[in-house]
């Protein structure tokens, strides 16, 4: 089955700097890659996703890149703000095979003011 | 307000005492799923349901049961809880399974401790 690895497990950045989280996946059939943000005491919430027919996607200060050949994808947060502090999860799935998400282990991001 | 609700939010119980965690969504979603979250392991799928009366195992189904008698409800049942089921549990739902309407919406979580 699919295996997703996520690095780093913790990330501390200064407010205004950029943050990058990287994930690798094992199943070349995976074609949908969402990123979730989990704030303290809450459930994960989708912040951005990318499908395998696209190499990059941006939404304001966040962007995701996908390298299908290398089987890795990354989340980029620019101009970080204190409210970006949270745990971030990457995931992978095969859309035609239902909605089963395989998650990475998570990255705890701390933005220091 | 469109949402996924779970009850209870916190539960401390003892080994072997049957319990049920309820999950309900008010978005008319077809797909529902249960995950457990453990440190360093991310979220792992326990069971999922593509529609009413259709359920299937995820990656870690041992020790759990589910049912989907109504579209909005998807309870998680632990017949004989054990300490290794101490975890944070999330229910999620999506409009459909697969395709552009597959964004999963998560509930607030249930923290379960089995002594």
- Per residue in B52-75, pLDDT (tens digit) is 999 999 999 999 999 999 999 999
Give pLDDT, residue B101: 66
Chain B residues touching residue A101 (CB < 8 angstroms): 43, 45, 104
pLDDT(A97) > 80: no
Give CA separation, A11 vs A36, A48, A88, B27, B48, in Å. 16, 19, 10, 35, 32
pLDDT(B100) > 80: no
**pLDDT 10s digits, A59-78:** 999 999 999 999 999 999 99
Q: Which two tokens stand for residue B28?
A: 């008319």
Give pLDDT, residue B55: 94
Chain A residues touching residue B40 (CB < 8 angstroms): 9, 105-106
Q: How far is A47 from chain B (nearest CA, A)?
A: 10
Q: How far is A82 from chain B (nearest CA, A)?
A: 22
| Region of poorest pLDDT, from A36-40, B1-5, B58-62 | B1-5
Nearest by CB to B31, from A41, A95, A99: name it. Answer: A99
Contact A99 B102 (CB under 8 A): yes
pLDDT(B98) > 80: no
The mean predicted confidence, pLDDT, of chain B is 94
Residue A1: which pLDDT band, with cuts at 50, 70 and 90?
Answer: confident
Contact A43 B92 (CB under 8 A): yes
Give pLDDT, residue B9: 97
Residue B103: which pLDDT band, with cuts at 50, 70 and 90?
Answer: confident
pLDDT(B97) > 70: no
Q: At a CB cut-off of 8 Å and minimum separation 6, what does B51 contact?
A: B30, B31, B68, B71
Nearest by CB to A98, from B41, B50, B109: name it. Answer: B50
Do residues A95 and A101 lie in contact, with contact meaning Cβ atoms separated by under 8 Å? no
Chain B residues touching residue A32 (CB < 8 angstroms): 102
Any idea what the Cα angle at residue A103 is, between residues A96 and B115, rounded to 5°? Answer: 125
Nearest by CB to B106, from A9, A32, A45: name it. Answer: A45
């Amino acid at each position: 089955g699919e295996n997703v690895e996520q690095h780093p497990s913790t990330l501390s950045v200064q407010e205004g700097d950029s943050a990058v989280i990287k994930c690798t996946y094992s199943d070349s059939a995976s074609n949908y890659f969402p990123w979730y943000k989990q704030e303290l005491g809450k459930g994960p919430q989708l912040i951005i996703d990318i499908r395998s027919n696209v190499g990059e996607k941006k939404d304001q200060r966040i962007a995701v890149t996908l390298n299908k050949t290398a089987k890795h994808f990354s989340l980029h947060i620019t101009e970080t703000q204190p409210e970006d502090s949270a745990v971030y999860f990457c995931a992978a799935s095969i859309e035609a095979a239902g909605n089963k998400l395989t998650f990475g282990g998570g990255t705890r991001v701390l933005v220091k003011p | 307000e469109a949402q996924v609700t779970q009850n209870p939010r916190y539960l401390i119980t003892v080994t072997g005492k049957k319990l049920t965690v309820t999950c309900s969504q008010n978005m008319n979603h077809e797909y529902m799923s249960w995950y457990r979250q453990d440190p360093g392991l991310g979220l792992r799928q326990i069971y999922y349901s593509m529609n009413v009366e259709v359920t299937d195992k995820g990656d870690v189904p041992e020790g759990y049961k589910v049912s989907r008698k109504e579209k909005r409800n998807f309870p998680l049942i632990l017949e004989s809880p054990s300490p290794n089921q101490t975890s944070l549990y999330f229910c999620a739902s999506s409009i459909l399974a697969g395709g552009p309407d597959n964004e999963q919406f998560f509930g607030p979580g249930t923290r379960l401790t089995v002594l």
